[in-house]
Amino acid sequence: MGCFSSKHIKHMQPEGCEDPVALANETSFTVNEVEALGELFKKLSCSISKDGLINKEEFKLALFRNSNKQNLFVDRVFDLFDIKRNGAIDFGEFVRSLSVFHPRAPESEKIGFAFRLYDLRCTGFIEPDELKEMVLALLNESDLELTGEVVQTIVDRTFAQADSKGDGKIDLEEWIEFAKRSPYLLRNMTLPYLMDITVSFPSFVMNSEVNEADMRS
């Protein structure tokens, strides 16, 4: 069972959403890619609640197949997608936010998004405790474990390389320079399958429908 009949999904977009041509003009997506994202959005936005919006539980279900899993990384990404800060993601926010992960998106957009991801307190700076929290969250999301000593070493080395002003925090200017010298920082900021979104959906989307086991986990 799905949220809409397969014979009706072609060139459909969520009811009341923004025009695909306008969204394509604003983002790195083509019109056809935006239309395909409309189908993807429909599936995600009705996986738990059929309200035409993606709430945090649906967002987590799409990534983890578990709407209850707690992870700072996912919470932070959701917050950045939720541009209007109303606790849900509409289609325009979905497309505009995903655009930064498109292979054709400018590197400057990817660097800026990554900076905001780590700037947990939204102060315009990345501080050591924020970086440590995100490193731990990323390790947890990947089911990896490192000792506290190793994590602290990662934080210390990052600041030694990025904090060129030596004030104990990393501003956007320092982050841009650090990212240019350390391309590995952006390796998760490009999702190649977005180039093929008109052909097929990523596996997590095809498996995102709720069943009783998901709701009990």
Between 205 and 89, residue with greater pLDDT: 89
Q: How confident is the model at residue 64 (pLDDT cuts 50, 70, 90)?
A: low
Class level of CATH domain 107-189: mainly alpha
Which residue stretches of 46-182 are H helix?
56-64, 72-81, 91-98, 107-118, 128-141, 148-162, 172-181
Burial 185-199 (b: 16+ CB within 10 A, else e): beeebbeeebeebee
What DSSP state is assigned to residue 52?
Answer: S
Digit-coded pLDDT (tens) for 117-130: 999 999 999 999 99
pLDDT on residue 9: 35
Q: Which helix (H) or strand (E) holds 212?
A: helix 212-216
Per-residue CA distances from 136 to 151, 155, 182 (Å) = 8, 11, 20
pLDDT on residue 139: 84
Domain 18-104+191-216 falls under CATH 1.10.238.10:
yes
Between 49 and 152, residue with greater pLDDT: 152
Distance from C-alpha of 215 to C-alpha of 217, rounded to nearest angstrom = 6
Q: Which helix (H) or strand (E) holds 204?
A: helix 203-206
Digit-coded pLDDT (tens) for 161-217: 999 999 999 999 999 999 999 988 888 888 888 877 776 554 434 343 433 333 333
Domain locations in the chain as residue ranges: 18-104+191-216, 107-189
Greatest extent of the chain over all pairs of C-alpha atoms, in Å: 60
